[in-house]
Chains A and B, each alone.
Chain A
Amino acid sequence: MATNQTLAGRFTNLRARGAVIQAIREFFCGRGYLETETPFRIPAPAPEAHIDALPAGDWFLHTSPELCMKRLLAAGYGRIFQICRCWRDGERGSRHLPEFTMLEWYSAGSDYRGLMADCEALIRTIVGKIGRNATISYRGNEINLAGEWERLTVREAFARYGDVSIEEALAADRFDELMVQQIEPRLGLGRPTFIHDYPACCAALAKLKGDDPTVAERFELYMGGMELANAFTELTDADEQRRRFLYEEGYRRSAGRQPYPLPEKFLAELPAMPPSAGIALGVDRLLMVLLDAATIDEVVAFTPEEL
């Protein structure tokens, strides 16, 4: 008999994983959200410069259920959520698995500020349901969930933590590098941080801010220096969305990435989508924070290397 000790050793974490997923379902069902399932295998992923879909036959495995969820919104499903597997080619690291679990929810009539409030309520509820205190410790950082969560614009974050301004970072094509090296490790340490109002160029599917079109109504949620969620007030202008997709797809092709067809059915139905907000939250990452796990490997039953 050869017991898989690594797998047996994850029992506590996997039991918590089940409880967290159940708590998520109860939270959304209790608030009138419909749980939905959309196909994993799709013909046309959203063209995004730095996200690669895995080919599956002539189609692709989805990198997020986003486009199908928005088609549901456009068809009148006003409050929907989904917990599902997503695939992103080539993403493997201490916080990345090429196959991972995403929670997405969408709400007609809401905006990105509404989603920030949802995040606070959801994570506080989950922590209560699994019998944890309102202060959790992640990698030696105490994170207080009970008080007001920090709201910081991307510009403020660069001014506070970066060695160059956001303009200089963008001009030098160092935005992502500085985010990883200088900004991210400082976010969500004493309390969770919503970092919001991303440069317009970093948000292919988000609505631009009415009073400042240089930034998009997009935020990310950080806890303990780790990115947990990405959210937008959704772009509902189909012409603008097509232009952005063409721009992203042009970048993809010039960089030698796998070409995608445009998601024409999504673009055709987008004008019917009401003003909405949507968010994607990495369930594995949330578990890492709640369970104080150093790597994503510790919160899943199997990594690809273990199969």
Chain B
Amino acid sequence: MYSVADLRKGLKVTIDGYPYIVTAFDFAKPGKGQALYRTRLKNMVTGSTLDRTYRSGDTFEPANLDERTMQFLYKEGTDYHFMDNQTFEQIVVGEDALGDAKHYLIDNLKVEVLLYGEKAIGVTVPNFVNLRVVQTDPWIKGDTSGSDSKPATLETGYVLRVPPFIEEGELITIDTRTGEYSTRVKG
């Protein structure tokens, strides 16, 4: 159990059955009055934010969050199946909870799954992931149109801009933090 004295940015608490993270916090106290603890909280499942003011004596349930290393197995409709590498336990994560991570999920990729109780609420992929280009227009030698990039579709269905010299079937590295092309994988 947390008290108001524990409030700080980054603290994770449970409110109305949801995990929230404190994103802004200030202490206010009028004159000789009682202390007020003003917080902005972000729902870690839905992403919605909430402003709440607490007083001394208020208490909070910690949000019991657990991060586990898992391996991506396969996708079935909007369900993504993962396996815990230690316990071999399998879990299903819905597309909504994945966010942009879904663009980078290839078989056997190791990811960090954030669990709230039994429920997966987020998946963190490595900063750099190698993916194969399945479709892109060929580079026309002598093209002087000045375009320094072209669209390419990856094996996960993700479409991004790549340099003109990238060809179909090539393996490229994506920076998952920006979602952009990083480099060509030689070999």
Contacts and interface: CB of A to CB of B under 8 A. Distances in A.
Contact of A202 (B28, B31, B53, B56): B31
B27 A91 contact: yes
Nearest to B27: A93
22 contacts: A49-B32, A50-B33, A50-B34, A51-B32, A91-B29, A91-B35, A93-B27, A93-B28, A94-B27, A176-B29, A176-B34, A176-B36, A177-B36, A179-B30, A179-B33, A180-B36, A203-B32, A220-B31, A227-B30, A227-B31, A230-B32, A255-B56
A48 B29 CA distance: 14
Nearest to A92: B27
A93 B26 contact: yes
B27 A50 contact: no
Interface in A78-98: 90-96
B5 interface: yes
B155 to A, nearest CB: 48
B30 A176 contact: yes
Interface string B1-42: 000010000000000000000000011111111111010000
Contact of B53 (A50, A96, A181, A230): A181
B146 interface: no
Most chain B CB within 10 A, of A91, A96, A176, A255, is at A176
Contacts of A93: 26-29
B53 to A, nearest CB: 6
A184 B36 CA distance: 13
Interface in A48-99: 48-51, 90-96
Size class of B's contact patch? Answer: 10 to 19
B2 to A, nearest CB: 14
A230 B36 contact: no
A51 B56 CA distance: 12
Interface of B: 5, 26-36, 38, 53, 56-57
Nearest to B28: A180
B57 A180 contact: no
Contacts, number: 58
B41 to A, nearest CB: 17
Contacts of B32: 48-51, 202-204, 230
B26 A94 contact: yes
Closest 10 CB pairs of A and B: A93-B27, A176-B33, A179-B30, A50-B34, A180-B28, A176-B34, A93-B26, A176-B30, A180-B30, A220-B31
Contacts of A100: none
B38 to A, nearest CB: 8
Given A49-B32, A91-B29, A179-B31, 13 more contacts: A48-B32, A50-B32, A50-B33, A91-B27, A91-B35, A93-B29, A175-B33, A176-B29, A176-B30, A176-B34, A177-B53, A179-B33, A180-B30
A184 B31 CA distance: 10
B25 to A, nearest CB: 8
A96 B25 CA distance: 13
A209 B33 CA distance: 20
A176 B27 CA distance: 13
Most chain B CB within 10 A, of A90, A92, A204, is at A90
B23 to A, nearest CB: 15
A49 B29 contact: no
Contacts of A256: 57
Given A91-B27, A93-B27, A94-B26, A255 B57 contact: yes
A227 B31 CA distance: 7
Contact of B27 (A96, A175, A203, A227): A96
Interface string A16-35: 00000000000000000000
Interface in A6-46: none
Contacts of B5: 90
B62 to A, nearest CB: 20
A96 B38 CA distance: 14
A253 to B, nearest CB: 14
A203 B32 CA distance: 8
Contacts of A184: 30
